[in-house]
């Protein structure tokens, strides 16, 4: 077990990627604090881990609230006595043309995706320093490498999280705290369901996204979770300040693949 007896807080753990991270961390031996805004989502995840023989508790937490984040960390310490790993996964996806983005929209996304990451890190790091060791994994997105139109608040927040990741990594490396970002591509979660539901033509939607992912498919939450396990484990002991892309090759491809087979291009000289 790669995370045996490590205590891990995972935010946004009620569904999708966060749920898979909580479950797979537990299967790797971690004691998990399942944090999410809704008990209807988070409590069943914690209960499922316990019923499978793992150790987990649920704590209701809106990561944009300082009071609730403080209570989350205090509960983790009260229950388990330490915090080895923090996975900042809670986030708000957002798509709207910039002209329609109101200040309240901006604040909602930034407060969850960026402020929440800051608050959870700020309250956990003192405990990690006391222990002499700690590990933070920030779940970001391929939007931290390239952007799409209509995602300004989301992209701004996630790029800022990568900046925060690198700054904290540099500041705390000498004190044995590692901080990394993990950037998923298109993953089979509620976001993917929303994309399909919003498409005028489902087959065209599937074809378009398949052409943009060299692997030819969307990823699974479990694939992101296992990447997080690696970063949280001692196997990654020399990795800090990284932004690891888990995207089926999406960000390595220049443009969408051609819907036809090109003739060979031999690079003939023009001189």
Whether 208 sits among the annotated catalytic residues: the reply is: no
Q: How far apart are the first and last CA of the chain?
A: 62
Residue in 136, 166, 142, 156 with CA at minimum distance from that of residue 231: 136
DSSP-H helix ranges across the chain: 16-27, 39-51, 66-80, 103-110, 116-131, 152-172, 190-198, 202-212, 221-232
**Active-site residue, from 118, 123, 154, 208:** 154
Q: Do residues 240 and 179 lie in contact, with contact meaning Cβ atoms separated by under 8 Å?
A: yes
Beta-bridge partner residues of 10: 34, 87
Residue in 124, 113, 173, 158 with CA at minimum distance from that of residue 9: 124
- Residues with active-site annotation: 154
């Amino acid at each position: 077990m790669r995370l045996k007896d490590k205590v891990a807080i995972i935010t946004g753990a009620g569904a999708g990627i966060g749920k898979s991270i909580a479950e797979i961390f537990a299967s790797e031996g971690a004691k998990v604090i399942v944090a999410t805004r809704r008990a209807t989502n988070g409590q069943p995840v914690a209960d499922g881990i316990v019923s499978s023989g793992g150790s987990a508790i649920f704590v209701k937490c809106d990561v944009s609230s300082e009071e609730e984040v403080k209570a989350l960390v205090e509960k983790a310490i009260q229950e388990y006595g330490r915090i080895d790993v923090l996975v900042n996964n809670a986030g708000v996806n957002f798509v709207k043309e910039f002209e329609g983005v109101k200040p309240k929209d901006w604040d909602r996304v930034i407060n969850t995706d960026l402020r929440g990451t800051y608050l959870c890190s700020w309250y956990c790091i003192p405990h990690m320093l006391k222990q002499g060791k700690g590990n933070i994994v920030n779940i970001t997105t391929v939007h931290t490498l390239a952007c799409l139109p209509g995602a300004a608040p989301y992209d701004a927040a996630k790029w800022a999280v990568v900046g925060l990741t690198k700054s904290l990594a540099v500041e705390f490396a000498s004190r044995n705290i590692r901080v990394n970002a993990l950037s998923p591509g298109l993953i089979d979660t509620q976001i993917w369901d929303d994309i399909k539901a919003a498409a005028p033509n489902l087959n065209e939607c599937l074809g378009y996204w398949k052409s943009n992912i060299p692997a030819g498919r969307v990823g699974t939450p479990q694939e992101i979770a296992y990447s997080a396990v690696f970063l949280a484990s001692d196997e990654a002991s020399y990795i800090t300040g990284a932004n690891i892309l888990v995207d089926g090759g999406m960000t390595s491809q220049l443009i969408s693949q051609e819907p036809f087979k090109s003739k060979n291009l031999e690079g003939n000289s023009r001189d």
